[in-house]
Structure 1
């Protein structure tokens, strides 16, 4: 199965098309639409070569359409079985990846006040993907999910508990997808180490 991964930054959209058939994962193609909204440029590479060109991408929805378009030009869109989107902030609700239905989109939008530079672009790209790839399941993975199980003492700020509870104020960790990858990769490389304390940056 082919899986499209999408990572929206505040002014960029990175994407990779992976072949997840069999036991391994192989990168088929990928690229970036950078400077979204300000002289955007598409850089794309596949086994057929490299493309580097100016594009029209006033927002992240248009950037996604550029990514989908260049994948289609390369003949790579058939067989995309799923698309995964990095979402920076899932609020307190999301502890696992979630299928991007209307209810999940609404919850991500509500959590957008906690990460406006990232959640809004991700939502724009997801909405474009729903139009461009209507039969493809779309899944969100959340940076904050890795830290959702923080002990209460670690999740609390030095504020009155009633205020924190009433306003939903708590500590959310960030870059959780990267931290999770580093921990899982370490465990795969060093299976003989039963317990370890890792500091990841």
Structure 2
């Protein structure tokens, strides 16, 4: 998370100093980040932690850089600012503490039911987000009320994913594959942070 914060700080610096440079570097960072995700996961699944660790560190930096655009919007949104960013980070931390308590004590039946429900919900969320992106490309932007609904659902789904992580990861990976588990939990944390921040921005951007 420290490396992600460093990447975000760097991205904010680029936006302030040279805004026209941010978009192409954002796209490049996003492409490399996507490639690194599959590379890191593949290497970590083999238990090659010596190679996976620096790759995961690079992935965290790039993730922070691609997150800086949303953080910039949050900083410029009245009623959100640095306080909203801190609230989103704190909310993620509390969610993981509670998620650990719940997920570690789920029965097999309840755990599998929750896992399947969250997985289906995340698939539906991805479809909605892709549709939202395509609409924005053609100049059709999401109404504020719909953005609030999408962000709220995203928060709920990734809060559920935090519970699922603590249930399923100990059952899915061996001890030497701890970086795989760390990557999965990192993705859940970052996406939960994103959707909390999106929700705060949408709520405070109402006309």
Verify same fold: TM over 0.5.
no
Structure with the larger strand share = 1
- TM-score scaled by structure 1? 0.28
In proportion to residue count, which structure has more helix?
A: 2
- What is the TM-score normalised by the length of structure 2? 0.27
